[in-house]
Structure 1
Amino acid sequence: MRSWHALKGNPPANPPSLAARKRVRGLQNFPMVTTNCGMQVGCHLKVAWGRRTNRVTPTEMPWGITDTPRPYRDELHFGYFGRLQTYWLTPTVNDLARHLRGGTKGHASSDLLGLCDDLVHSLAEAGIDVAQLMWMHTLLPYYLSFQSSEVRTKVVADLEMGNLTGLHFRMGIGSSSVKHPQVFRYCPACWRADLLQLGEVYIRRLFQLPGVFVCPEHDELLRDTVVPYRPLASRAYWNFTPPDATKNCPFVPASTDEVSLARLLALDSRRLLLQGISEHPRVSYLAADYQRALQHLGLASRNVHPGELESMFLKQYPMPFLQKLGLPIEPGREGNWLRCFVRKTNRRFHPLQHILFRRFVERHLGIDCWTWMEAERWPCLSPMQSHPGPVAVTMMNLHFNAARDAWDGIFACACGFRYSAGGDGFPSVSSLRLNRVIAHSPHLHQRVAELAKAGCSAGAIASQLQLHRKTVQQWLSADDRQKAPRTRLDLTSEREAWLGLVKLNPQSTLKQLRTLAPALFSRLYAHDALWLKSVPLQRYLHRTKIRQDYWQSRDELLAKQVRTLDEEIRRRMPAVRVTISRIGRELGVLNNFRKRLARLPAVAEVLASSIETVEAFQLRRLQRALEQSPAGVSRRTLMQAAGLRRQKTRPAVMETIDRLFSGGDQS
């Protein structure tokens, strides 16, 4: 294998075949060509990092590259692995999968990267950061942009295990009406710049997001390629080249306003992609933020006003534009996605729906509205006058009730003080009301003990620290009350008392003895449990009382039922074979037939005379068909009427049929 740098001189002694070289996409000797999108370019080939050429002679053709190239900025992993397949001269996708994963198992997902131990090990040896590849070169940050921490943890854990099953539905992508493009898309201006700067083109992940129709850098409409978004083969990666481009434009704007809206959506989508592994700071309170925003817009008081919301929303996003996004709204319909978005806060929605709604709010309230609507710095409500250390209050839990237009939450400070508080409207410090104290700070406990040692009374301490007098008394009594260790003499006397109780009640169980002496039992259980459990006691063995005549009466009843059911089954049309399983299932006693048939002798006798073998069942069907068929019927017609096939008919039955049609006994 030759290095990445300039390859000149004689080719290897055993060069690859012509067919193998042609399978390497992008490395063929292409002249200047006019692509489907109208670009007239030459197929640049990397001979060195700083050199490109349009004319490649067979002696300059690289036979393979040992170095692993790094992915380009915002390059989708699907195209990056396609470039690796080209650079490493792997003739098939299985060879690339074997090099990356150590085997041919795996799946080439277009948007997510399922990691396995072999893939992580191979990429790490090549010097590629797997975490950066997953967060900066797949669509994972976009999918998880508005997901909770719990969902993010589960999704990342599945990806690290290489499991992609059900992830799109778990993130609300697969169940949404927003659909991915059918083919990969590109920006003509970006590809022209890539050819000049890099000597090749690559596919960007931003352009594959639904709702992105414009390149935010060049303000140029995106075009389609000929490569389908879903791979035709399970492990088929693709190396994108200029001949893959087309002139087809998936988005035809009706006005300049639609172009401006599409550019804003592209910028918002790019912002979500670039956040990488970081989590949205308000992801747990999005429902409360959206409800408060609607209240500021006058579209909600306690309940949302859907009619006014839909009219204002359609003024900003015209219906034709929403149809191009795959998110049309049927005004007045309860089930349209906009009403569900602001009402059903427990459902997971597509990131594009969040982008549209947040843009709608920012247009009316300003782009910084989410900042000033965020909850302010929560205070520490501890009664201590001088706070030990800086105030750092963490919101442990927050619940916003849109129906009551109220909120409540649990807060914890670094000093150890925990409290529950709530209020009306949107969660804020101004509306905060203390509900109850969950736990006081340990520093406050220590301060109470110091004042008590100084001679202060409980009332004086409570007045000074702004505590309730009973709280101070409870803390002081708890500090004074010490558990005295029990002496060996006490345990000996209590053991003797317990043994005496056992001797007086030799037939009593532990539960009965505990009822007789509850205090003694509690003391021994608390201080001498091992000895208490080692004392031998009378064990009461529960024996089920069995009626002697139960199985006899049961046997007689079941025998009659089996005999009646046998006759009924034989009269059924079409014919059904009489078996123990069929009789047992229909009577609901199959388990008794399998395990307790020895206790049912009459039933066993009836079953032995009732059940049919396959041969007997076929003869019964043949007899019934013979009785119902007219005279002179043919062999084939008779067997069809009896439901018999020659391949599965038993030999004895075939002999009977032969005798019937050979002039023998037809009885």
Structure 2
Amino acid sequence: MIHFFTDPYKDELIYSAISRYHFYTGNIDFKDTIEECFGKRTIISSLEIGSPIDALAKNIGGSYTSEYLIKEHTIFPYYIPFLPMKRREEIIKEIKYGDCSGIYQKIGIIAGSVCKREGIYYCPICATNEIQMKGEAYIHREHQLQGIYLCVHHGELLRRYKTIKTDVSRLEFIRFEKDLLDLSNGPKDIKHYEKMLKLASDAYYLLENDLMSTDRKIVLKKYKSILCEKGLTTSGNRIKQREFYEEFINCYGLEFLKIMDSNIDKDDEYNWLRVITRNSKRTVHPVRHLLLINFLSGDIAEFFNDIRNNYKPFGKGPWPCLNKISEHYKMNLVNNLKITDDYKTRLPVGTFSCDCGFVYSRKGPDKSSEDRYKIGRTKKFGIVWEDKFKAYLKERKYGLRELARFMNCDPKTILKFDSILGTNMFQNNKGNIKDKQPAAETDKLSDYKNSILVNMESNTAATRTEIRSMCKKEYIFIYRKDKKWLYDKLPIATKRTKYQPIVDWNKRDSELLIIVKNKYEGLLVSDELIRITKSNIGRGLGILTTLEKNIDKLPNTEKYLNKVIETVEEFQIRRCKKIIKNKVANGEPIRIWEIQRIAGIRNKAFEKIKNIVLACIN
């Protein structure tokens, strides 16, 4: 156990505390410091997390535990609520006892390279205050979060420390030195300042609050709940992607999303906005979750405090039974609710089924407490209603309309059940209740028929479809009331002529070949490395559908694409070659491990191309 250790400051990375420990103990060799802290000399220092934390906690002793150090002195809480529970447990176990090998991919720090940056960052105002009060500045974890550019406490633009980890040995712990800190006043006019400061505040909330009970699954349910509340989902809980995309873009603007490495390709089935709202195993970066939370809720504290309450268009159950004949009328006994979409308005329609057999529905969402006691349509009356109806019939003293009032239904319903149940008490009344079109409706039908005939006489060459287009309301009204008359009077339906292709595919092939070649050459010289695939070329030119569905009609274009598209390994080699070229141009030393790290290639994949990369270096 260590008899002396530099207690971590508020929100200080454990990496920073160890670097100060090394300084104050006067150790010359960093391996000595590593052994004293972790119990062995082979640990590689990690800025953001550090491991194995459990060994460090035991060596420090006192009140320190591995759970406390992870929660208070690593950036892991930034990722906690957006990870699946099982993966989170695996990661915590790795942080406690492992060497963090491959942990960053599991967390999502590397995935998508969202707002990826090199170096250690600090706030000049924080550093100045710490030097004055504590005699030294330290590394804050909130300043190292990807996607966060401002200090949440002072709104100051973060600055990169002059010494970075790639400049020193992998075993070395960097400590802030006053002479290397830029403590001058920073720029005040920062573009998108308010949005960036809001993200910094939301990120700090994740660090400061215990969200261990929340995981990816719970957050996803909350997303869908709020999207439903905003009218951006169907009753089947499917997201209306086009409307969602448009509102999200309007909220932030394309420029800001580009700065945050969060552009959205609405034609890409796997763009991050779709992935983040699906039951996907893919990791989505926390900054993108913060963008979505801010769009949906605006208040991250409110979002997480209320995260387990799902949107309910008809309120919480149980709901009242609205069978006036039953003794439990208006009592909250209905537990069976089925929600569907209205086929016209797409609003939710709730169908409520009581144990007494009474089934009713209404269109939602409910806007007041009184709406709970409204019926849009009665679908079934149920056994209780039928028994009461039979009891009234046995008394043989009620007329048709009087009985309809007692049973809270239409007289036609009484006649219907009188026939269904075989009581036949009101057979003589059927003539009085016979369905007849009102005189006004009959006149309307006659007027609409005349309108159709007049239009047909004025447009003798018009087809059925053209007549329907000219007389939309008349057509649909007659279709519902007298379809036979309509079809007898309309022109004879003409057969569709065989489709004749109008596209000259040979010409189209030649044209596309030229623009595909230009796009390919552009991708090769682009500063942004993009893998050359049919999808990337087609999407960039806006012709992806043509290339996917009609490629068999474009033989020259297909042949060229097959020649130039890259495999994953070919793209990895091209990335490595560009890194080597840049280092040679800048006169920098070339290290094989550094090329692998910058290119972001995993060990197993890099082994396959290592000899080719070495040949390029030589």
TM-score range, shorter chain: 0.3 to 0.5
Q: Which has the higher helix share?
A: 2
The TM-score normalised by the length of structure 2 is 0.46
**Which structure is larger by alpha-carbon Rg, 1 or 2?**
1
The TM-score normalised by the length of structure 1 is 0.43
